[in-house]
Amino acid sequence: MVKKSYKFKKEIVLVIAIMFTYITTSVAVAPYNNAARAISYSYGSSGNIVLEIQRRLKAWGYYEGGLDSSYGYRTYVAVKRYQAANGLKADGVAGDRTLTSLGINAGQYAGRGGTTTTTTTTTTTTAAKKTTQNQDVLLLARLINGEARGEPYEGQVAVGAVVLNRTRDSRFPSTVAGVIYQPGAFTAIVDGQIHAEMKQSSINAARDALNGWDPSGGAVYYFNPATSTNGWIWSRPLIKIIGKHRFCR
């Protein structure tokens, strides 16, 4: 009888020890689980949360585009303006702090397209590609407009071609947005010229570049020798000169 009681007590102690280990481990890793679940919405995202971001920003006067559930250039600019006005890091990315400030609970959209949309049908995939292409045209046009308006049309297309050449080069990001917003890559981002009044020629040049015209001859760099202060850029092999820009490998 004593042996059985002793064995029973040992089993109880073992169970308590296991439960204690489970509870303390769960508490310890909880912050990491929450961090893993953190989701941010940025250029190229889509879904119901993006729609809600657009709806709220439009109601508050930050967003001027249509409510299309697609995180394009206008949404990026609106988020950035909202962040700057509300003491948040103005990076154009709707992360946890920005969503909380907007009063959006990502969890309530679970299962309803709340995260970045993954297309599963041919029709949806085609629509998503078309949306991305339209976003790329607008963003590339803004970059061309900020960097090369006033240049010969061929030179404007060449600037767009440099962006696209970089997306195919492993040294650079693989998307148009990634290349354009790579820190320090383009003066127009730094000095705000990307927001300059749009010229129709910039839109046309973006379309021509996206359609495959590359007057730069495969360049991945260009610079204006009259304004450049970067000595390294002069070491790049010259391909051609168009207008005020030197296009290089």
CA distance 220 to 13: 68
CATH superfamily assigned to domain 48-109:
PGBD-like superfamily/PGBD (1.10.101.10)
What is the model's pLDDT at position 33?
44
Q: State the burial class of residue 97 (Cβ atoms within 10 Å of its Cβ: 0-12, 13-18, 19+).
A: middle
pLDDT > 80? residue 167: yes
pTM: 0.53
What are φ and ψ of residue 179, in 5° steps? -65, -50
Delimiting residues of CATH 1.10.10.2520 domain(s) in the chain: 122-248
User: What kind of fold does domain 122-248 have according to CATH?
Assistant: Arc Repressor Mutant, subunit A (1.10.10)
pLDDT digits (tens, 9 = 90+) for 95-153: 988 988 888 876 665 555 444 443 334 444 444 455 456 788 999 999 999 999 999 99
pLDDT digits (tens, 9 = 90+) for 11-27: 665 556 555 555 554 44
